[in-house]
Amino acid sequence: MQKPIYFDYAATTPVHPSVFEQMRPYFMEDFGNAGSNQHYYGWVAEEAIQKSRAKIAQYFKLPASSILFTSGATESNNLAILGFLSDKKPSHIITSSIEHKAVLAVCKQLELQGWSVTYLMPNKNGMIELEAVRAAIQPTTALITLMLVNNELGTITDYQAIRLLADQHQIVFHSDATQAIGKLDLISDHLPHLMSFSGHKIYGPKGVGVLVVQSGITIKPIVFGGDQERGLRSGTLAVPQIVGLAACFDLMPDLIKQAQILHAYKSKILDSVPNTWTINAQNGHTVPHILSISLPNTDWETLFQRVPAIAVSNGSACNAKTHLPSHVLKAIGLSDSLALATLRISLGNTTSASDIDFLIDYVNEKLVKL
Ligand code: PMP
């Protein structure tokens, strides 16, 4: 069977060959446990961890101690939110209805513990407006958690303005930046206080992520054990994955440059969309690699059966198994059936101009008559 062309980079990316090469020695020759501080094998592993930490910290212009390694963005989000709030009396949190489940499910747990949560609604373009955040602030608000780029719509949140607002009100701001790293130039003085991301969305391996914790922000551990990561995230460090994640940061200049090419590809696809289809977040401020198109009056199962030669999704991969309409698309006003009949097309570093031409012709040929 010929493999379909991959248009699902927001779900995951292939590991870049140079990333894989840098990881390779740490599986077999230099396989030590970074916690084994009595011998050579442990020292080599520990050195690799420290270099990786320093490289990522340097990218964000932060001290190395700001970088905590986790198993991925899901764990980073849990550690950021639960770790920051665990020693506080239940009060108020601001988030949005379009967050990833790795934030929404944590907020639901906190509600069970007595926290009150405001779920901000996006405007019709899928944007969380600064004024909505401002209006939701209460004297008891302890945390604002808003994603930097939405994984289904590609909409970009104004994190710099929210950070300033949070500072004015002495509230801590966490952001799930999983879909933003490698797509937006985030080097800035106004990064969120806490920021989560994952290796596998930026041409690194799965099963590794980072929580960035800015100086002055205190979090408590949520898993307990051998006290790795200064006691904040116990568990043997995944040395090859961490080396791989750090290696992704060598790719950053190219990835950011490539965003311009992806922008042109995205415009070409959007220009080809028949006017009876809906382009979601059309007038929103969006990243170049994600686009979302819905087909009115279309059965979603038939829709996906018609396009076996392209690998696209109808929401986030994490929701795909449920066959429920996406909570994000519903939040911007789509009906259940329109939300299900949605193609999320996401582009990446192996997407070529001819892939885009194929996609446009193929989608038009297979779907226009539906
Ligand atoms: N947040 C966002 C915005 C995501 O897109 C994803 C991946 N679908 C996650 C969190 C979860 O990341 P991980 O798979 O690394 O836990």
Start-to-end Cα distance in the chain: 25
- Cα gap 77→75, rounded to integer Å: 5
- Cα gap 337→298, rounded to integer Å: 8
Dihedral class, residue 191 (left if φ above 0, else alpha if ψ from -120 to 50, else beta): beta
Give the active site residue among 318, 353, 368, 370: 318
Ligand 1 center to residue 58 CA distance, Å?
23
Ligand 1: which of 76, 101, 151 to mutate, judged by most atoms within 8 Å of the beta carbon? Answer: 151
Ligand 1 center to residue 168 CA distance, Å?
29
Give the architecture (CATH level 2) of 17-248. 3-Layer(aba) Sandwich (3.40)
**Is 107 one of the catalytic residues?**
no
Count other C-beta atoms under 10 Å from residue 231's C-beta.
12
Distance, CA of 28 to chain centre: 30
Q: In one letter, which amino acid is 347?
A: L
Helix, strand, coil tally for the chain in percent (to 5): 40, 15, 45
How many residues in the chain? 370
- Cα gap 306→309, rounded to integer Å: 9
- Cα gap 253→321, rounded to integer Å: 35
Domain locations along the chain: 5-14+252-367, 17-248
pLDDT (tens digit, 0 to 9) for every residue of the chain, 370 residues total?
A: 789 999 999 999 999 999 999 999 999 999 999 999 999 999 999 999 999 999 999 999 999 999 999 999 999 999 999 999 999 999 999 999 999 999 999 999 999 999 999 999 999 999 999 999 999 999 999 999 999 999 999 999 999 999 999 999 999 999 999 999 999 998 778 999 999 999 999 999 999 999 999 999 999 999 999 999 999 999 999 999 999 999 999 999 999 999 999 999 999 999 999 999 999 999 999 999 999 999 999 999 999 999 999 999 986 555 545 678 999 999 999 999 999 999 999 999 999 999 999 999 999 999 987 7
Count other C-beta atoms under 10 Å from residue 322's C-beta.
10
Give the strand pairing for 342-346 and 290-294: antiparallel
Q: In terms of Cα–Cα distance, which of 46, 76, 55 is closest to 212?
A: 76
In this predicted model, what pLDDT tens digit does every residue of 143-170 receive, in sequence order?
Answer: 999 999 999 999 999 999 999 999 999 9
Ligand 1 center to residue 102 CA distance, Å?
7
Residue with tokens 């059309």: 282
Angle CA 264–269–275, to nearest 5: 135
Q: What residue ranges line ligand 1, CB within 6 angstroms?
A: 72-74, 100, 102, 147, 151, 176, 178-179, 198, 209, 316-318
Angle CA 90–91–93, to nearest 5: 115
Query: Given the CA of residue 75, which atom of ligand 1 is nearest to it?
Result: 16
Ligand 1: which of 178, 206, 346 to mutate, judged by most atoms within 8 Å of the beta carbon? Answer: 178
Q: Which CATH number is associated with domain 5-14+252-367?
A: 3.90.1150.10
